[in-house]
Amino acid sequence: MAQTLDDSAREQIKTWIRSTGITQTALAAHIGRNQAWMSRYLKGEFNADLETLQRITRMFGHELTAALNVPADPEEATLVALYRSLSADGRRVLMALLKDWTRPRRRGRSPKPFR
C-alpha cells in the first residue's frame, strides 16, 4: 500500500517530536488541540487538515513541504523524481557515488584525475 501525504507528515512529525523532546501535550497545546487528539492523529486514526499541519510544522520551524516529503526546491524535486525512477541497482550505484562524493577528505591530498 502506498504511503499517503498524511502518512508522510505523521512520520516526520514523530521524528521531530523524538529529536526535540517535546511532549505530545505541549505540541497539542501549541496548536490549539489536546493530547488525546495528538495521540490519535499520530496513531493514524484520522488525518489532519492543512491548517493544522501548517501550525505543527511551523512549531518545529519548517514549512509544510518538509512534513509532506515534498521538496520545495525545483532542482531537489527533479533529483527525487529521477532517483525514484531508477531501478534498485541504479539506486544502489547512485547511493554509492553520493556517499563517495560527500565523504570527508583529508587535507593536502587531491583526488587522482580520471583517465
pLDDT at position 37, please?
Answer: 98
Question: Does 87 share its domain with 42?
Answer: no
Q: Are 98 and 49 in the same domain? A: no
Q: Sorting pLDDT into bands at 50, 70 and 90, what band is 114?
A: low
Residues 18 and 50 in one domain: yes
Give the pLDDT confidence score for residue 111 in this predicted structure: 57
DSSP labels, 49-92: PHHHHHHHHHHTT--HHHHHT--SSHHHHHHHHHHHHS-HHHHH
Which pLDDT score, from 0 to 100, does residue 34 have? 97
Q: Which helix (H) or strand (E) holds 42?
A: helix 35-42
What confidence score (pLDDT) does residue 69 get?
Answer: 76
For the stretch 10-58, pLDDT in tens is 999 999 999 889 999 999 999 999 999 999 999 999 999 999 999 999 9
Q: Are 47 and 36 in contact (CB under 8 A)?
A: no
pLDDT at 79 over 60: yes
Q: How far apart are CA 53 and CA 30, in angstroms?
A: 12
For residue 48, give its domain range.
5-68
Q: Are residues 48 and 89 in the same domain?
A: no
Q: Are residues 64 and 75 in the same domain?
A: no
Q: pLDDT of 60-69, one tens digit each?
A: 988 888 888 7
Provide the CATH number for the domain around residue 61: 1.10.260.40
Distance CA 35, CA 22 (A): 12
Q: Are 33 and 22 in a shared domain?
A: yes
| 20 lies in the same domain as 63 | yes
Instruction: For residues 42 and 25, state if they share a domain.
Output: yes
